[in-house]
Amino acid sequence: MRLAHCSDLHLLSHDGARWLDLANKRWIGVMNLLSSRSRHYHVAAFEAMVEDLNAQGIEHVLCTGDVTNLALRQEFEFARRKFDKLALGPLDVTVIPGNHDAYVAQGVPLFSETFGDYATPDAGWAWEEDHRHSADDILHWPIVRVRGELAIIGLSTSRATPWFTAYGSLGHGQLKRLRHVLLDERLSGKIRVIAIHHPPAGNRARSKIRGLRDHLAFAHVIAEAGADLIVHGHEHVDLVETLAGPEGVHVPVRGVASGTYFHNKPDRTARYRIYDMAGGQITGDHVRVWDPENRRFAPGEPTRPVDAAPARQQSAI
C-alpha cells in the first residue's frame, strides 16, 4: 500500500470573487495575500504534484487541510477542480479541513458542500445522534475510510477563530468518538493513520495562538487506544514528533510542509511525502519536492530529526 500525504495548498484564485463577500475577518487575509502570500504559494506546484501523484503508483492521497486561503466559495470550487485531476478520484483521496477552510463561519459548510465526497465516511462508520456530545458538536467527525490494510481516520480541528489567531480544537465529542474508533475491533490489524490539520504534539501544539487547544486530551486518547501514524499540516515545515501509545509504544507524529510554497526557505519548498506499507507495517517513507525550474517533482532530502524550536508567535494568517 502506498499512501501520499500533502497539506496546506492555499490554492489562490480570485476569479469572479465579489469583493463584498470579503467582509470582516477576511480583510486581514486579503491584506496578507496582497502583501506576500500570492507570490509564495504556487498553483503550478500543485498541478505538477497532481501529475507526479498520478505517476508514482499511489493508492491513497491524504491532504491535511488549508486547501484555500479565505474560505471563499470561488476558492473551494477552484481547489476542487484541481483535486479532480487526481486519477484516483474522491474515494481514494481524503481531504480534511484546515483553519483557512474555516476562516469564517460559512467556511465549514462550504467545505462540506464542495469537498464532501473527499471526506465521506465508509458505510458502517456514520455517527448516530446519541454520539453527539453537545449542540455545536459536528457529528460528521471523525471519518473512517478503510482501504486494504490502511485505515484512515480523519479529524476536524478547524473552526472560525478570533482575529490574529489560528488555533484549533477537537472538542470532547469528537475525542470520545476517536477513542471509540481506535478501539473498534473492525480496525484490529489495520494500519491506523490519523489525519489532523493542527500539530497535536511538541511545542507547536502548545502555542495558544496557533496550536491545538485540547492536545493533552488528544494525547490521552492516543496513550490509551494507540495509533500507527499521525500526520498533520498547518506549520508549513516538516516536523517529527512522537506521542506515547499503550505499552511504551512511540506513535510517530509527522508534519509535512506546504504543497505549493516556493520562496526563500529551501527546506520548505513545496513537497509531499510517500509512506510505503506492507504486512501491517509502515516500511518506509520519502519526500518528493517541487523543482520549479523544471516544473516537476523529484526525490528530496530526508526530513531532519525532531524539531525542537519554540512555538512561534508569528502572524496567525
d(CA 254, CA 285): 11
d(CA 98, CA 168): 9
User: Smallest gap, in angstroms, from Cβ of residue 119 to Fe ion?
Assistant: 17
User: Smallest gap, in angstroms, from Cβ of residue 274 to Fe ion?
Assistant: 21
Q: 144: part of which helix (H) or strand (E)? A: strand 143-147
User: Smallest gap, in angstroms, from Cβ of residue 101 to Fe ion?
Assistant: 9
- Please tell me whether residue 119 adopts helix, strand or coil conformation: coil
Region from 4-12, 49-57, 83-91, 281-289 binding Fe ion, contact rule CB under 5 A: 4-12
Half-sphere exposure of residue 120: CA atoms within 13 angstroms, side-chain side: 11
For the record, the C-alpha cell of 263 comes out as 520562496
| Angle at alpha carbon of residue 9, lines to 140 and 256, rounded to 5° | 85
Kindly determine how many residues on this chain lie close enough to bind Fe ion according to the rule CB under 5 A.
Answer: 5
Asked whether position 235 contacts Fe ion by CB under 5 A, the answer is no
Q: Which is nearer to Fe ion, 99 or 156 (CB)?
A: 99
* Type of residue numbered 230: I
* Type of residue numbered 144: V
Asked whether position 158 contacts Fe ion by CB under 5 A, the answer is no
d(CA 196, CA 117): 18
Asked whether position 234 contacts Fe ion by CB under 5 A, the answer is yes
Q: Which is nearer to Fe ion, 192 or 254 (CB)?
A: 254
Asked whether position 98 contacts Fe ion by CB under 5 A, the answer is yes
Angle at which helices 215-225 and 172-182 cross, to 10°: 20
Half-sphere exposure of residue 297: CA atoms within 13 angstroms, side-chain side: 27
Q: Which is nearer to Fe ion, 98 or 142 (CB)?
A: 98
User: Smallest gap, in angstroms, from Cβ of residue 197 to Fe ion?
Assistant: 6
Asked whether position 8 contacts Fe ion by CB under 5 A, the answer is yes
Region from 59-67, 105-113, 180-188, 308-316 binding Fe ion, contact rule CB under 5 A: 59-67
Asked whether position 69 contacts Fe ion by CB under 5 A, the answer is no
Asked whether position 99 contacts Fe ion by CB under 5 A, the answer is yes
Region from 64-72, 128-136, 248-256, 289-297 binding Fe ion, contact rule CB under 5 A: 64-72
User: Smallest gap, in angstroms, from Cβ of residue 281 to Fe ion?
Assistant: 30
Q: Which is nearer to Fe ion, 102 or 151 (CB)?
A: 102
Dihedral over Cα of 242, 244, 246, 248: its sign: positive
In contact, 197 and 141? CB cutoff 8 Å: no
For the record, the C-alpha cell of 227 comes out as 495509533
Region from 95-103, 128-136, 145-153, 222-230 binding Fe ion, contact rule CB under 5 A: 95-103
In contact, 174 and 135? CB cutoff 8 Å: no
For Fe ion, the binding residue among 52, 66, 214, 241 (CB under 5 A) is: 66
User: Smallest gap, in angstroms, from Cβ of residue 233 to Fe ion?
Assistant: 6
Which residue ranges make up the site for Fe ion (CB under 5 A)? 8, 66, 98-99, 234
